[in-house]
Amino acid sequence: MEALFATTTGILAASGLYLSLRGRTFPVVVGLTLLSYAVNLFLFSTGGLTTDGAAVINDSGGYTDPLPQALVLTAIVIGFAMTAFSVILAMRVRGDVGSDHVNGNRIDEPREDKS
Amino acid sequence: MSLLLIVLLPLLGSLLPLLSSNHRRHQCALLTAAMPLVALLIALREAPGVLAGDVPRLAFSWVPALGLDLALRLDGLSLMFVLLILGIGLLIILYARHYLSTADSMPRFYAFLMLFMTAMLGIVMADNLILLWMFWELTSLSSFLLIGFWNHQSGARKGARMALAVTGMGGLALLAGLILIGQIVGTFDMQTVLDSRDVILDDPRYLPALLLILLGAFTKSAQFPFQFWLPQAMAAPTPVSAFLHSATMVKAGVFLLARLHPALAGSQEWLYLVSLTGLVTMLYGAYFALIKLDLKAILAYSTVSHLGLITMLFGLDSRMAVVAGLFHILNHATFKAALFMTAGIVDHECGTRDIRKLKGLWRYMPMTTALAAITAASMAGVPLFNGFLSKEMMLAETLGTSLLGGLAWLIPTLATVGSILAASYSLRYVRNTFFDGKPRELEKTPHEAPFPMRLPILILAIVCVVVGILPALTTTDLLTAAADAALVGAAPELHLSIWHGFNLPLLMSAIALAGGIAVYLLRQHLFTFHRQFPSRHSLTIFEGAVQRLVRFTQWCIDTLENGSLQRYMLWVVISALGVAGMGLMSIDTLQGDVAMQPADPMVTVGAVITCFAGLGTAFLHRRRLISLIMLSVVGLMASLAFARFSAPDLALTQLAVEVVTVILLMLALFFLPQKTPKESSASRIVRDVLFAAGFGGVVASLNYALLTRPLTSISDFFLDNSVPGGGGHNVVNVILVDFRGFDTLGEITVLCIAGIGIYKLLNRLRLFMPSSDSEGRPWSPDRYPMILASVSQTLLPMALLVSVFIFLRGHNAPGGGFIAGLVTAVALILMYIAHGVEWAQQRLSFQYQPIAVSGVAIATLTGLGSWVFGYPFLTSAFGHFHIPLIGDVELATAMLFDLGVYLTVVGATLMILANLGKVTTPHRPSKQKEKA
């Protein structure tokens, strides 16, 4: 199970990174989101992969590690804020620069109607 | 307290001239002079005590963590320099009053001068190494301002920059050296350092510390090979040259040698480094002083030479040499300041400083001629003037040195050669300027300068003569006191007198004078010889080096920071790969000791789906919508993974965030190109795939290595203390709102800031509006789906109820402010989707920004509340309360904090999405159609 989990994290990280290295804003945003999923899963797994545990105090015990969970919970929300910020930055850049290339290059693209 | 006044009064004095205007020049000069005069009187009042052996000290703690104290002392060495700085400083103020033309801003000049004086006094009185360094840097900065005072001249700007670069660099080296010394001794307190010579000399860090400190001292005192900045600094107004580059600033370097002499001297390294550098500088400076044609350049090189002489004396292994060095500091300051002022008068009256044009000025300015002759005689070492005394002491001390062992005879020989050159250039300075025929090619007829300009020179010349004739009476006490401070143990007994009988030093002095005249007479041969050398101007060389440095850094910036995000990303990835890869290589095997759990079919299927969706997101990225759908699959699978591996809180959060993220990206995608053009070259794709695969491999290996190793966690603390300490059973939530509440507070602040930033970005956003889809079909007008609209309306109260439920139970069961906030946000966004922005806006007629901000405020205030009760920030309290009909409820202040989290999440999320929707709505096809 651990090997499976690790492989999945690796594949997600690789896909996310590949997208982050693309030249257009949208794939980069998607890539960063994907990368943050991979990172969240990775961080979460540092507490171990517990089946049928919980981080709620009860009489029977069998706890999972609550600390990575607390970290990842905030990371998920921050990740959303980051995604939102970068995608709207991308929209703004397209509006102001006229290109959705991450380097701000004006590469000829089929001009769409501008409202 | 009086010590502090000595330093602070000139600092106050740097503000006073600014009160005056440039037109009221007398008033300006008087205002400036008042403060140093008072400081001088205070110093003189302290003088008898200091001469008797007292060392008044004063210390205030300033930055104890750095070992920096505002500590001052006034020992003999300090006193000698304080008198020198304030005395000559006052004369310079008087001189500058008449030197500066009306075009120059006098208040500005005096302000800089006073600032410099403060810095200099600080150096000589500092009782703390770091404080000393601070004032040291202040002299570099204020001298930069003074050298560049005529900032309309290119030479002044370049000279100032060069001086700052060289002395500033030396200052940094000095700081490093002083810190090393501080580490060796364990304190930056001056007295302790001075008393710890044995500790310092035995420490292995002694040599690097010594080298760094000497670098600082040598750059400041223009010692070879750093002598080149001083002649360039002559672009400064002459009063500045007279003050900074003869009497004070360049003396800071030799002062440092004297100050730290008790702590650092006595080793072979010190002997060789200091005295040989001084010797070389002395000869180098003397030679060029003889060659140069500009009066100030002659004096500048002679200053270099004399500073070399003083440095050599401090380096020699004799106690009397230190006394001679101190004596020469005093004498050099008097005659060199006076000489600079005569050069200033000549420049002022004749409009040139070129020695080839100036001749026979004695006809026009007899008094200046006499004063220049007296002070130059002192510089040459003619008997009856003060320069003779210290020069003869120097010659005597070179005789006794053990430097160079069997070749020790070289030192006195070379010292005599230096003295011959000194006599020669002194003679040349006086004879070629004031005698030797009539002036040629002068632009104006020179005449005597106003008396107040000659008065300072007169005073200094009188000092030269009086000290020269009555040395024992005038300077013995001061020198003994200064030498006491610069030496370990009591200073050697001093017998200053003109006549010591016929001995070897007297012979050497005679040789020097006779040789000086001979060299002067034969100087044309020397000039002819010198013309063979290619002329290399130090400023050109320096500027060239600076330009090359600038070009190199520009090249570095252009290469590393070329504005390409892709390149930056690549560098980040490469460094991450490097660091993580090294960590992985340092472990023996990837597989740890913990056995793997068996994979069940559900997990396997989930992993396979996740992997395919992840790869699909990447491979199909040019078709953006499909890529986005693949991404949402990954997000949902992640949520399931959290649920499967016992993290219900995370599963809920991920689920809600996933919904919001996908809605946001869909909305954004509408305004971005629907497809990504094919533009990456094949080689770039290969490169990126390789890097991505490498990165994925490293992440996977790291994760695997981590998962198969035994886990040690600090979480037991949280599990044990959650109920008794935080009053909650859901440990994740208790960590968020209580144990690590401060982190959460920071996190919701970031969330709020992101929301506000997005709000700002949306302001006046210009949108690219697609009128058709990628296949050219026009967009159909937007109709809101009937079923969704009805269902969502029914669902809203339930969703809100659920979010309240999740919020309330969060402390004891999976849930909490984050998740509840996201659920509320999703429910409200559904309204927007189902009915459109306008419909929703009419019913949700409030701004979201205040909600988010008030959320952060509530959380912060909750934290601050614990201060009211005398507890640290964000201490939580909880208790059980009985509410009728509902029963026992456990309430904690953490819940209030969680409310802040809840409001922030709702506010920020809706601020982002609703505002984006609002901005984009007017551009929708449906609206356009309606308008049309």
What pLDDT does B67 receive? 83
Compute the distance between CA of residue B521 and CA of residue B632 in angstroms, rounded to an integer.
96
| Cβ contact B638–A40 (<8 Å) | yes
> What are the distances in angstroms from CA B830 to CA B751, B799, B825?
21, 10, 9
Q: List the one residue out of B309, B253, B255 whose CA is nearest residue B281.
A: B309
Compute the distance between CA of residue B242 and CA of residue B300 in angstroms, rounded to an integer.
10
The DSSP-derived string for B298-334 is HHHHHHHHHHHHHHHHHHSS-HHHHHHHHHHHHHHHH
CA distance B835 to chain A (A): 23
A chain contacts of residue B754, beta-carbon cutoff 8 Å: 81-82, 84-85
| Cβ contact B747–A41 (<8 Å) | no
B chain contacts of residue A22, beta-carbon cutoff 8 Å: 566, 621, 676, 680, 688
- Whether B873 and B866 have beta carbons less than 8 Å apart is answered as yes
| Cβ contact A77–B731 (<8 Å) | no
Q: Does B584 touch chain A (CB under 8 A)?
A: no
What pLDDT does A110 receive? 45
What pLDDT does B502 receive? 82
Compute the distance between CA of residue B433 and CA of residue B546 in angstroms, rounded to an integer.
36
In this structure, is the dihedral angle defined by the CA atoms of residues B731, B732, B737 and B738, taken in order, positive or negative? positive
Whether the per-residue pLDDT at A70 is higher than 80: the answer is: yes
Compute the distance between CA of residue B748 and CA of residue B874 in angstroms, rounded to an integer.
15
**What is the band of A111 on the pLDDT scale with cuts at 50, 70, 90?**
very low
> What are the distances in angstroms from CA B59 to CA B54, B70, B73, B191, B544?
16, 6, 9, 12, 46
B249-259 helix and B129-147 helix, angle to the nearest 10 degrees: 160
Q: List the one residue out of B703, B687, B661, B571 whose CA is nearest residue A18.
A: B687
Please name the member of A51, A55, A78 whose beta carbon is closest to the beta carbon of B751: A78
What pLDDT does B173 receive? 95
**What letter does residue B780 receive in the DSSP assignment?**
P
What pLDDT does A113 receive? 40
| Cβ contact B730–A55 (<8 Å) | yes
B chain contacts of residue A70, beta-carbon cutoff 8 Å: 732, 735-736, 740
Q: Does B635 touch chain A (CB under 8 A)?
A: yes
- Whether A30 and B621 have beta carbons less than 8 Å apart is answered as yes
CA distance B595 to chain A (A): 9
Residues with Cβ < 8 Å from B730, sequence gap 6 or more?
A55, A56, A57, B649, B722, B810, B811, B812, B813, B814, B815, B816
- Whether B912 and B758 have beta carbons less than 8 Å apart is answered as yes
Compute the distance between CA of residue B918 and CA of residue B80 in angstroms, rounded to an integer.
77
| Cβ contact A85–B754 (<8 Å) | yes
**What letter does residue A56 receive in the DSSP assignment?**
B
What pLDDT does A112 receive? 43
Pick one of 1.10.287, 1.10.860, 1.10.10, 4.10.280 as the CATH number of A2-49+63-97: 1.10.287
| Cβ contact A9–B703 (<8 Å) | yes
Please name the member of A73, A107, A114 whose beta carbon is closest to the beta carbon of B736: A73
Compute the distance between CA of residue B661 and CA of residue B649 in angstroms, rounded to an integer.
18
Q: Closest-CA residue in chain B for A35?
A: B614
> In sequence order, which ranges of B317-450 are alpha helices (DSSP H)?
319-350, 366-380, 386-399, 410-434
> In sequence order, which ranges of B126-153 are alpha helices (DSSP H)?
129-147
What pLDDT does B922 receive? 64
B chain contacts of residue A34, beta-carbon cutoff 8 Å: 614, 617-618, 631, 634
B817-835 helix and B786-809 helix, angle to the nearest 10 degrees: 170
| Cβ contact A30–B692 (<8 Å) | no
Query: Bridge partners of A101?
Result: A24
Q: Does B708 touch chain A (CB under 8 A)?
A: yes
- As a whole number, mean pLDDT of residues A61-84 equals 88
| Cβ contact A26–B916 (<8 Å) | no
Please name the member of A1, A40, A100 whose beta carbon is closest to the beta carbon of B597: A1
Q: Does B663 touch chain A (CB under 8 A)?
A: no
| Cβ contact B703–A55 (<8 Å) | no
CA distance A62 to chain B (A): 11
| Cβ contact A7–B761 (<8 Å) | no
CA distance A102 to chain B (A): 6
Burial B469-491 (b: 16+ CB within 10 A, else e): eebeebbebbbbbbbbbbbeeeb
| Cβ contact A56–B693 (<8 Å) | no
Helix then strand then coil, % of chain A, to nearest 5:
65, 5, 30
Q: Is B625 exposed, middle or buried (0-12, 13-18, 19+ CB in 10 A)?
A: middle
Q: What is the ipTM of this complex?
A: 0.91
Which of helix, strand or coil describes residue B435? Answer: coil
| Positions in chain B whose pLDDT score sits under 50 | 927-932
Residues with Cβ < 8 Å from B829, sequence gap 6 or more?
B660, B663, B909, B910, B913, B914
- Whether A97 and B765 have beta carbons less than 8 Å apart is answered as no
CA distance A90 to chain B (A): 8
> What are the distances in angstroms from CA B555 to CA A17, B182, B800?
28, 39, 59
Q: Report how far apart the first and last C-alpha atoms of chain A are (Å, whole number).
A: 53
> What are the distances in angstroms from CA B904 to CA B8, B467, B817, B850, B916?
52, 81, 9, 9, 18
CB pairs A-B closer than 8 Å = 332
Whether the per-residue pLDDT at A55 is higher than 80: the answer is: no
Residue with tokens 């190199």: B552
Compute the distance between CA of residue B405 and CA of residue A38 in angstroms, rounded to an integer.
73
pLDDT tens, residue by residue, A9-38: 999 999 999 999 888 889 999 999 999 999
Domains of chain A, residue spans = 2-49+63-97
